[in-house]
Amino acid sequence: MIQLVLQEKVLGDRETYAKCMAHVWQARALKEKNPEHAELAYAAALEAQPFNFPVWIESVDFLKDSREPTAESWEIIGKAVSTALAAYPESAWEILSRIQEPAMEALDADRREAFFLKYYEMIAKQDGPVMWAYDKALDAQAKALGEDPVRALGFFEKVLGIQSTSKLWFAPNAVVRLGKLGDVSGIVILGTDYGQNSHRQMPLKVSVSEDGGTWTEVFRTTDPVGPWRIPLSGKATRVLYVKAERDDDRNEFFHLAGIRVYGRKLQ
């Protein structure tokens, strides 16, 4: 679904898309007879549209299969992917996972960890949190670093340290990613306690997003007695994420029992 959102972004910018694809077609034509120039053409395509996910896939597959990049080149590629798609970490990791094996083979042991940590440094700068299977990515990365549990634990601690610098990753909120992009007609937020601890959710703000990066506020209340029912018919027509949060900077617990989203799927 994230790829669909990205693809809509790519196609929506017709001018840069045309420039990007002109370079892609040039790269395809040069793959066999002049792979060096094909590599430059792919680089030009991604300079025109850094968030073009399909071109990233095509480019890294070409580099992996035909160009045998050096350790330094893999580091540059990894940083470029993480920077370009930092707002879409699931997509960024899908690309990085395709080059993980050759990159790990080329890099010295002390540089492999830095290759993955750069990714977390980039996504930590985003207005997160991001809701995806990051635990699977962490597991794959730890295994790529070797079977040493001490090394794996050290890696996890460094990732946690990076993410802790972004308070939005640990903010008092809950984010739900829907199974499909949808036209939302209503949301119901359920609290765990409408009594003495109900103040912990206040002020409560609810927002929706298509891409997990740009949010639109649809509800705000200081009334601690829920459940909070939010009618949205015609007001939230393209939604993939719903976020409920306490809209202040207090450092205390935040409790919810559930987020129910009603509407229809768009795909």
pLDDT per residue as tens, the chain (267 positions): 455 667 777 778 889 999 999 999 999 999 999 999 999 999 999 999 999 999 999 999 999 999 989 999 999 999 999 999 988 888 899 999 999 999 999 999 889 999 999 998 888 777 554 555 677 788 888 888 887 888 888 888 888 888 766 655 556 788 888 888 899 999 999 887 766 777 778 899 999 999 888 899 999 999 888 889 999 998 888 999 999 988 887 777 777 888 999 999 886
Q: What is the pLDDT of residues 136-187, one digit of tens each?
A: 788 888 888 887 888 888 888 888 888 766 655 556 788 888 888 899 999 9
157 burial level (CB within 10 Å; 0-12, 13-18, 19+): exposed
- 246 and 131 both lie in a single domain: no
Pairing of strands 216-221, 228-246: unpaired
- 148 and 118 both lie in a single domain: yes
- 77 and 161 both lie in a single domain: yes
d(CA 257, CA 261): 14
**Residue ranges making up the domain that contains 7:** 2-169
- 220 and 243 both lie in a single domain: yes
d(CA 222, CA 228): 11
Domain boundary among 133, 148, 169: 169
- 14 and 132 both lie in a single domain: yes
d(CA 223, CA 216): 21
Model pLDDT, residue 25: 97
Domain boundary among 124, 154, 169: 169
- 141 and 205 both lie in a single domain: no
Starting from the edge strand earliest in sequence, which strands make up the sheet with 216-221, in order? Answer: 216-221, 204-209, 228-246, 173-190, 258-265
- 164 and 198 both lie in a single domain: no
- 164 and 190 both lie in a single domain: no
Q: What is the pLDDT of residues 124-133, one digit of tens each?
A: 777 554 555 6
- 123 and 22 both lie in a single domain: yes
CB atoms within 10 A of CB 239: 22
- 196 and 158 both lie in a single domain: no
Model pLDDT, residue 225: 83
Model pLDDT, residue 169: 56
Q: How far lies 116's CA from each of 77, 88, 241, 258, in Å?
A: 12, 16, 26, 34
d(CA 75, CA 29): 27
- 160 and 244 both lie in a single domain: no
206 burial level (CB within 10 Å; 0-12, 13-18, 19+): buried
How many structural domains compose the chain? Answer: 2
- 135 and 45 both lie in a single domain: yes
Domain boundary among 99, 134, 169: 169
